[in-house]
Structure 1
Amino acid sequence: MSTSALFAYVLVALVGVMTPGLDTMLMLRHTLLGGRRAGFRALTGINLGCLVWGTASIAGLTALLTASRIAYDVVRIVGAAYLIWLGASALWKSFRRHQAPPEIGVEPGRGALRAGLVTNLLNPKVGVFYLSLLPQFLPAGSGQAAWGALLVLIHVSIGWLWMGTVLLLAAQARRFLLRDAVRRWLDRLTATVLIGLGLRIATESR
Structure 2
Amino acid sequence: MVPVNDWLLFAGAALLMVLTPGPNMIYLISRSICQGRRAGVISLFGVMAGFLVHMFAAAVGMTALFLAIPLAYDVLKWAGAVYLLYLAWQAVKPGAQSAFEARQLPGDRPSRLFLMGFLTNVLNPKIAIFYLAIFPQFVSPEHGSVLLQSIQLGLTQISVSFTVNLTLALSAGGLAAWFVRNPRWLAVQRYFMGFVLAGLAVRLVSEQRRAA
TM-score between both structures, scaled by the size of structure 1: 0.60
Residues 1-206 of structure 1 aligned to structure 2 (within 5 Å): 1-60=2-61, 105-141=106-142, 142-170=144-172
Q: In structure 1, how many angstroms separate the alpha carbons of the residues matched to 2:39 and 2:113?
A: 6
Q: In structure 1, how many angstroms separate the alpha carbons of the residues matched to 2:6 and 2:134?
A: 12
Residues 22 and 126, structure 2, Cα contact 8 Å, conserved in 1: no
- Structure 1 residue ranges without an equivalent (≥5): 67-90, 95-103, 177-206
Percent of residue pairs identical: 27
| Residue 147 (structure 1) shift | 1.4
Q: In structure 1, how many angstroms separate the alpha carbons of the residues matched to 2:16 and 2:175?
A: 25
- Structure 2 residue ranges without an equivalent (≥5): 66-74, 76-102, 178-212
Match of 1:78 in 2: none
Q: In structure 1, how many angstroms separate the alpha carbons of the residues matched to 2:39 and 2:26?
A: 13
Match of 1:180 in 2: none
Q: In structure 2, how many angstroms separate the alpha carbons of the residues matched to 1:165 and 1:129?
A: 22
Question: Once the two structures are superposed, what CA deviation does each residue of 1:38-63 show, in whole Å capped at 9, x if it has no partner?
Answer: 101111111111110111011118x8
Q: In structure 2, how many angstroms separate the alpha carbons of the residues matched to 1:149 and 1:4?
A: 17
SS at match of 1:47: helix
Residues 28 and 43, structure 2, Cα contact 8 Å, conserved in 1: yes
Say how many residue pairs are matched.
138
Residues 13 and 155, structure 1, Cα contact 8 Å, conserved in 2: yes
Match of 2:209 in 1: none
Question: Once the two structures are superposed, what CA deviation does each residue of 1:80-105 show, in whole Å capped at 9, x if it has no partner?
Answer: xxxxxxxxxxx9xx8xxxxxxxxx82
TM-score between both structures, scaled by the size of structure 2: 0.58
Structure 1 residue runs of 4 or more that deviate by more than 3 Å after TM superposition: 171-174
| Residue 135 (structure 1) shift | 1.4
What is the alpha-carbon root mean square deviation over aligned residues?
2.7
Q: In structure 1, how many angstroms separate the alpha carbons of the residues matched to 2:150 and 2:175?
A: 38
